[in-house]
Amino acid sequence: MALQICHRLQISEDSKIAILYYHFNTKNMQHYYLILTSLILLVSCSPKQETKYYFKEQEKEGWLIPVRIGEETYDFLFDTGSSNSCIKQEIALKLKLQTRDSLLVYQSSRRKVAYHDLTENITFSIADTPMNLSFFINDRNIIGMDIINKYHWMFERSNMTFQLQGKKIPIEKRPSDILYKKKYYFNDTKVQIPIVDLLINDTISIPLLFDSGYAQTHNYSYYDESIATLLPVIALEHHENITNDSFFQYIFKTYGKDAIIHYTNPHFFFWLEPITIDNLPPSCFYMSTNTDSIYKTTQNHKYIGVLTWHFIRQFRTFSIDPEKQEFTFTVSPEDSNIVKKSSPEEIEAIKSKRNIKFIYL
């Protein structure tokens, strides 16, 4: 009985040994009462620490979290830009999964909606949390919004750990921390991918799809010379017509041609210095777009671009509260060692080799 009580109250092994020793040397119920009182006091004074799990950070992929299926553990991309979770074809074949349907899946990083086979339900676990769900078969493993939006998440880049649970995860805030909270909403009741509204320079608000799975980088080349890669924070995709009061027009009027650092048909690349987003301190932002986005009016979208994983990785911690539909970021001056930024030399190398002679403005 004492062992069962210890297990249910999640007492440490050392404490169990001491309590069990006392239990087997006890001869009356009065001592049982003392044991239970001691257990309750021990639990209240020493609350259980939430277990943290390690994730991987890949420069051109994003965050990979471990997913256990049977006896094997696989890396899955944590992707808020995917409406559904996916599993690789080779793993589905290895597990001998049966397909039961074929449905449309939206992936922001691929910029497309495509048909994918839907597997039978799979029993698996993330961070020791058991789950049972069907996956779409794809060419990569993805944890999408169908799973993400059911739990509270916390990622800590300082030690590369994450937490997952059904209740709110407390944020450990330093005195020097900036706490940045951002509400999100969904563009569609069926395709639930999060959208955030960013206020730019206290002037214009833009809706962006929040995509933790968009980790693409753009390599520049000037004749035969390769130039360092910058990290695109905002990828502009869908715009109003250029003759209207569009976000692109605002950027061009505010920053002029100096904002354009490179043009390779049909892509424009911008370096905005400085730019203010919401109540965050002014900083440099790298954006990309293309002529189709600028000159054509695109209907049926509630966002004009993507806020990429390279924005998220500027912060020490990132958490998701699905009940409030809120993202929370923390960052402080002490985090400069974990935030990857392009060096001044990289930026100057690109600026010195501007290529804007083919821009139609």
What are the extents of the domains in the chain? 2-45, 53-152, 178-351
Q: Do domains 53-152 and 178-351 have the same CATH topology?
A: yes
233-273: pLDDT as tens digits: 888 776 554 445 577 778 878 887 677 766 666 677 777 87
pLDDT at 357 over 50: no
Give me the pLDDT at residue 90, please: 93
286-324: pLDDT as tens digits: 787 766 555 554 455 678 888 999 889 889 999 999 999
Q: 132 forms bridges with which residues in the sheet?
A: 123
Mean pLDDT for the chain? 75
Q: Could you give the residue ranges of the DSSP H alpha helices within 176-267?
A: 247-255
Give me the pLDDT at residue 287, please: 82
Q: The CATH number of 178-351 is which of 3.90.1150.10, 3.40.50.300, 2.40.70.10, 3.40.50.620? A: 2.40.70.10
Main-chain phi, psi angles of 24, to 5 degrees? -75, -10
pLDDT at 151 over 60: yes
Kindly state the average pLDDT of the residues 334-355: 60
Give me the pLDDT at residue 86, please: 93
CATH code assigned to 53-152: 2.40.70.10
pLDDT at 138 over 90: no
Q: Give the burial string for 47-82 (b: 16+ CB within 10 Å, else e).
A: eeeeeeeebeeeeebbbbbbbebeeeeeebbbbbbb
pLDDT at 223 over 60: no
The conformation of residue 334, written as its DSSP 8-state character, comes to G
